[in-house]
Structure 1
């Protein structure tokens, strides 16, 4: 059976397993059943989007189950097919792929700009004569970043590479052979290890403070609310706001201030709309909407206007240190018992599982006598525990 993990991103920007399935057949019916069970586990609440490859069974199953979530295709899988679809031996291939990558992976360009540049590349390199490229262009709103700018948190994941890294993680605990019972025990061990790492990072964030690299009060405020991993990204934006941003124009529209900010690092201008009364701000780069973090352009405007803290409405909960401390409820809608994020016993159990698996891994290269001796030690200790 094929092992199928559902992978997301936690508040430390690490891959996290939401659930997993074992499927005997990779067809529409099997995928539809798996997706339905996943939706039940989510309490019927669909995620904003789901990213998969272009497996025919998946393509048919997703819209049958997810009515609101936007189905996106893995950008890496699509771009990996370009050499065979275009022809890597063509004389103009290097020039072509450089131009294509420039517009595909660019998060700054608008949809209309992308379409115009794709048309230019198509005319110059004959893409209109290749059916695959015409099909990919018709489905551009499912994989091209320029056409996903309106999707909330749409830039957090763009490929299924996180899922592949999760597969590598699980392979450390489980091979292709073995019984279902063995698999389940090892899967549980892998999940314990994942949760232990998460709790360890939570603890580090709680008891350590990152080093400040600017004089901005906003940077210090970000260090208080964000996990260390997310804060590093926010800190980079804060530094760029000082080093690369300047005003290139200003206008007042009703009670709003619209500033054209020049970003030297990207060689682009961005329009930032700011309300000095409510502190509400938006930027044409849409980084806040796409990634849930204030961009350097808004940070520059805030700093210029003496704003010292990030407005609450722009602090995305999923990136905060206490993202998992909100109240949880059981299937009946009743409040569940509060669980301490740092549970000493659970951490010890996770460490023990890790030690056991590392030891078993070492034994793989040893003689049968050594393996039997270790097995005897475990049995003796188990008997003592039973008594």
Structure 2
């Protein structure tokens, strides 16, 4: 059986084990069950972040259970595979590793700068055809897409107006589109107001009353 600890950081920035679980399988259903038990043990309080390796089962299970926690891949797990995936020669005989580390671990690079610097390193060492590097770079966007798709299928946004059309919209739209739709509705509701009111003249007969009189006359 697989031993899976839930490890975090305490107020002293020291590792702390919140709990652990034994799993028969490392598939979606097993991880969903494990996360549900963890959430129950934590009194329903979700973690802010979940960081792990690139296990497909966990990728699918996180948004199925947690609605607020942000899922991220562990960079240490990824970077320790570089030598094996790229080759020991280029890693030992060039400054490729240090150049790549400067890009990956920098906290100052904006997304566009990261992409530019990544492309420079990959091009300089002729690694454009390395599938592992290409896949990991592309995973930045694809992982987010998988999370959003899973959230749309496994959770339901809160409705605000209690109307049939809102209940229909929440079923057919993705979360992001629904939230945009909801904002437009809220804006429309707030923008509507009564600009003026003229009370009817007591001597005038309303259209509804006239229609009723016509019906009575026909009878």
Query: TM-score, normalised on structure 2?
Result: 0.58
In the aligned structure 2, how far is the partner of 1:91 from the partner of 1:105? 17
Alpha-carbon displacement from aligned partner over 1:312-351 (angstroms, at most 9, x marks no partner)? xxxxxxxxxxxxxxxxxxxxxxxxxxxxxxxxxxxxxxxx
C-alpha displacement of 1:112: 2.1
Asked if 1:37 corresponds to 2:71, the answer is: no
Asked if 1:108 corresponds to 2:120, the answer is: no
Counterpart for residue 216 of structure 2: none
Alpha-carbon displacement from aligned partner over 1:213-239 (angstroms, at most 9, x marks no partner)? xxxxxxxxxxxxxxxxxxxxxxxxxxx
Counterpart for residue 181 of structure 1: none
Alpha-carbon displacement from aligned partner over 1:68-94 (angstroms, at most 9, x marks no partner)? 321111111101111122111238853
Alpha-carbon displacement from aligned partner over 1:121-163 (angstroms, at most 9, x marks no partner)? 12212232112111111223799xxxxxxxxxxxxxxxxxxxx
Counterpart for residue 90 of structure 1: 90
In the aligned structure 1, how far is the partner of 2:91 from the partner of 2:26? 39
Query: Is the 8 Å Cα contact of residues 72 and 142 (structure 1) preserved in structure 2?
Result: no
Q: Please list every run of 5 or more consecutive structure 1 residues that lacks an aligned counterpart in the other structure.
A: 144-387
Asked if 1:76 corresponds to 2:87, the answer is: no
Query: TM-score, normalised on structure 1?
Result: 0.34
Counterpart for residue 121 of structure 2: 121
Larger fraction in helix: 2
Alpha-carbon displacement from aligned partner over 1:145-202 (angstroms, at most 9, x marks no partner)? xxxxxxxxxxxxxxxxxxxxxxxxxxxxxxxxxxxxxxxxxxxxxxxxxxxxxxxxxx
Assess, with a 3 A threshold, how the Cα gap between structure 1 residues 66 and 127 changes in structure 2: closer, same or farther.
farther
Q: Which has the larger radius of gyration?
A: 2
Query: Is the 8 Å Cα contact of residues 28 and 60 (structure 1) preserved in structure 2?
Result: yes
Assess, with a 3 A threshold, how the Cα gap between structure 1 residues 98 and 24 changes in structure 2: closer, same or farther.
same
Assess, with a 3 A threshold, how the Cα gap between structure 1 residues 68 and 93 changes in structure 2: closer, same or farther.
farther
Runs of 4+ in 1 over 6 A off after TM superposition: none
Q: Please list every run of 5 or more consecutive structure 2 residues that lacks an aligned counterpart in the other structure.
A: 144-219
Q: Which has the higher contact order (CA 8 A, sep 6+)?
A: 1
Counterpart for residue 55 of structure 1: 55
In the aligned structure 2, how far is the partner of 1:15 from the partner of 1:122? 35
Counterpart for residue 23 of structure 1: 23
Q: 3-state DSSP class of the match of 1:68?
A: coil
C-alpha displacement of 1:10: 0.9
CA RMSD of aligned residues (A): 2.3
Q: 3-state DSSP class of the match of 1:30?
A: helix
Q: 3-state DSSP class of the match of 1:126?
A: coil
In the aligned structure 2, how far is the partner of 1:51 from the partner of 1:91? 26
Counterpart for residue 150 of structure 2: none
Number of residue-to-residue matches in the alignment: 143
Query: Is the 8 Å Cα contact of residues 5 and 19 (structure 1) preserved in structure 2?
Result: yes
